[in-house]
């Protein structure tokens, strides 16, 4: 018997959560039981009440959103865990495609690939940072995930047990890096996205998003690939020093050869 638990991190998502829950499935081919779980991160509106009204099976109220949901899903007996967003940006109709590879016992983590360049509400700088972040994660994890920041993803029971993420903001990146380093098979599939219901409350402004994302990318290298990071960092002054040294030697020997030319009498 296969149980799927769909977990949704929530913070003051009273209105959008209604739309998200309405779209979620209760029956899918290859799955015997489907349960819903929300991780309430201190909501001050009616998020929890809305969840109860719409028949959410599990409500977790802890600070570490992603890991709290993962641990609660495992305790509830999940065989497959899908992580989605309460803002309804991900298309719930694509959940069958997301979990199908895991049902067939192929990869253990499936990450959605969004159409980044076709997403109108993403600024150009955000699109570039999405690509830069995914590139950094590919290097750190030795995987080939094209859209690492995507939060719409599925985990097998075996993969979920092995993950341990401490930072709620960077869980999308760290789960891929940990999975790659632990030999967990990861794949991506292209999936649709819905129109944005409201601006993200995690991003106050584009400059703050840029700074936070750059810090996240830097942190990834420092935490998971420190040797490569410092080699890359040290290569810059080393290159300048090498060029300066070669240039000095060139002028030195050029001047020395001139002094050695014999004077004709």
Report CA-CA distances (Å) from 11 to 41, 62, 135. 5, 11, 29
Mind giving me the DSSP string for 55-78? T-SEEE--SSHHHHHHHHHHHTT-
> Over the stretch 207-254, which tens digit does the pLDDT of each residue have?
665 566 667 667 766 776 677 666 666 666 666 666 776 777 666 666
pTM of the entire structure?
A: 0.78
> Over the stretch 70-119, which tens digit does the pLDDT of each residue have?
999 999 999 999 999 888 889 999 999 999 999 998 899 999 988 776 66
CATH numbers and ranges of domains, the chain: 3-204 (3.90.550.10)
Tell me how crowded residue 247 is: count the other CB atoms within 10 A of its CB. Answer: 10
């Amino acid at each position: 018997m296969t149980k799927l638990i769909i977990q949704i991190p929530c913070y003051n998502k009273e209105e959008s959560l209604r739309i998200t829950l309405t779209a979620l499935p209760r029956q899918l081919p290859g799955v015997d039981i489907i349960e819903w779980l929300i991780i309430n991160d201190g909501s001050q509106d009616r998020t929890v009440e809305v969840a109860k009204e719409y028949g959410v099976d599990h409500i977790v109220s802890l600070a570490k959103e992603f890991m709290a949901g993962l641990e609660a899903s495992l305790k509830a007996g999940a065989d497959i865990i899908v992580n989605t967003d309460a803002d309804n940006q991900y298309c719930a109709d694509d959940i069958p495609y997301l979990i199908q590879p895991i049902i067939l016992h192929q990869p253990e983590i499936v990450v959605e690939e969004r159409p980044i360049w076709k997403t109108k509400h993403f600024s150009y700088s955000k699109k570039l940072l999405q690509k830069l972040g995914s590139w950094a994660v590919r290097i750190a994890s030795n995987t080939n995930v094209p859209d690492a920041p995507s939060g719409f993803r599925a985990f097998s029971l075996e993969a979920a047990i092995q993950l341990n993420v401490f930072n709620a903001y960077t869980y999308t990146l760290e789960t891929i890096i940990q999975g790659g380093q632990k030999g967990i098979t990861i794949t991506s599939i292209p999936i649709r996205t819905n129109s944005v219901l409201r601006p993200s409350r995690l991003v106050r402004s584009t400059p703050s998003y840029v700074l936070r994302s750059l810090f996240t990318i830097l942190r990834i290298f420092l935490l998971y690939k420190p040797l490569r990071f410092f080699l890359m960092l040290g290569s810059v002054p080393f290159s300048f020093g090498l060029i300066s040294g070669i240039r000095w030697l060139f002028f030195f020997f050029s001047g020395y050869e001139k002094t050695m030319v014999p004077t004709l009498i």
